[in-house]
A = this chain, B = another copy of it.
Amino acid sequence: MSSRRDAVHDTLRQSEGFRSAQDVYAEMRQTGAKIGLTTVYRALQALADHGKVDVLRNDDGESVYRACATGEHHHHLVCRRCGHTVEVAGPDVERWAETVGAEHGFTEVTHTVEVFGTCSSCSTPVGAG
């Protein structure tokens, strides 16, 4: 078994936003952990493979990971500024995806939905223009 994998998982849990493999690696080294980049990548992939963490691609095409509160299917509302992430459920969206797929004769329909915005803490305080 890999205690390294747990270490990676634990590091991810300390962050509330999505982190890249490189980020996780850098952070672990900062905390004094002895671990290689390769192992971080492998741990992250294994974790994602087991549904322990969620993965998505940022605008740069990098894979970013996050230890989510639930293994259930859900989506994310991510702040563009601070990376703060909220897990959201969207039954309507699930239904919509299924419906759209069915209308066009598609089966085994899956979907990716991510919502980005600026959270209240990061919103520019309007009033002074």
User: CB within 8 Å of B: which residues of A?
Assistant: 57, 61-63, 77, 79-80, 86, 88, 90, 92-93, 96-97, 100-101, 104-120, 123
Contact = CB atoms under 8 A, between A and B. Distances in A.
A37 B88 CA distance: 41
Contacts of A112: 112-114, 116
Given A90-B100, A106-B117, A112-B114, 20 more contacts: A61-B61, A61-B63, A77-B100, A77-B104, A79-B106, A80-B108, A88-B104, A90-B96, A96-B96, A100-B115, A101-B115, A105-B119, A106-B115, A106-B118, A106-B119, A107-B118, A107-B120, A107-B123, A110-B115, A112-B112
A68 B56 CA distance: 24
A123 B102 CA distance: 12
Contacts of A118: 106-108
9 contacts: A61-B63, A88-B100, A92-B93, A100-B115, A106-B117, A110-B117, A112-B112, A112-B114, A112-B116
